[in-house]
Structure 1
Amino acid sequence: MSINEQALGKIINDLQNKLQEANRMVASVQAQIQTREREKRLSELTNKELSSIDTNTVTYKSVGKMFVQEPLPSLTKELSTRVSEMDKDVAALDKKRIYWERNKTEAQGNLQELVRQIQQAQGA
């Protein structure tokens, strides 16, 4: 094996590793986005249900394995805050997803270009 073949093998291996890492990170970020979206939807639905009851109703919030009495306005405010936090989290995660998808596309393009150049060199 010549030095060029060894260097070429290392470059291909590095590009494959970069592509695998990008794929893994895209999947991870998408899972995090889905989780945040689910939490946001749950908070919105809970807030919607709480808005339909009387403000003097005794309400409780879950804290670990127990429930703590919480005034309704405080509970709805907390849920609204959670929804806005989830929106911010989803926006930040979406930026990460775009970054990793760009890395993935770049690695795929580089790998395809390298393979094309190798095929041309072997054909010449």
Structure 2
Amino acid sequence: MSTNEQAFGQVQQIIHDLQSKLQEATRMVASVQAQIQTREREKRLAELTNKELSALQPSTVTYRAVGKMFIQEPLADLTKELSNRAVEMDKDMAALDKKRIYWERSKTEAQGNLQELIRQIQQAQAS
């Protein structure tokens, strides 16, 4: 095997690795964004439910859904649980946003490396 063939094989392997990294980063960015949207939806639902419950009298009988049944729960406990859920969703979204930033940076880096490699190959062929 000649030196040119070895170099070509190495370049092909590098391109393949960069493409794999780019595909994985793109997939992970989309996945994390979907998770963030889900958490935003859950938070919004908890806040809206809590808003509706706040309009009720403290003595109102309230129920919490558990599977296919409902369990009676004091209004104060229910509103506290919903508030805690909204705070938890905020924490989850902050952590997911950090992941999203990491994967977007990884994606940008892989794109840049791939473009740079292609540019170098084109320059080498032109020489």
TM-score, L = length of structure 2: 0.97
SS at match of 1:82: helix
* Residue 39 of structure 1: aligned partner: 42
> Are 1:25 and 2:28 an aligned pair?
yes
* Residue 70 of structure 2: aligned partner: 67
How much does 1:120 deviate? 0.1
Q: Which runs of 5+ in 1 are unaligned?
A: none
Give distance in 2, aligned partners of 1:71 and 1:25. 41
- The correspondence for 1:106, drawn from 101, 104, 109, is 109
> Are 1:57 and 2:44 an aligned pair?
no
Deviations 1:34-57 (A, max 9, x none): 000000000000000000000100
Give distance in 1, aligned partners of 2:68 and 2:102. 39
SS at match of 1:55: coil
Deviations 1:49-97 (A, max 9, x none): 0000001000000011110000000000000000000000000000000
Number of residue pairs matched?
Answer: 124
Q: Which runs of 5+ in 2 are unaligned?
A: none
TM-score, L = length of structure 1: 0.99
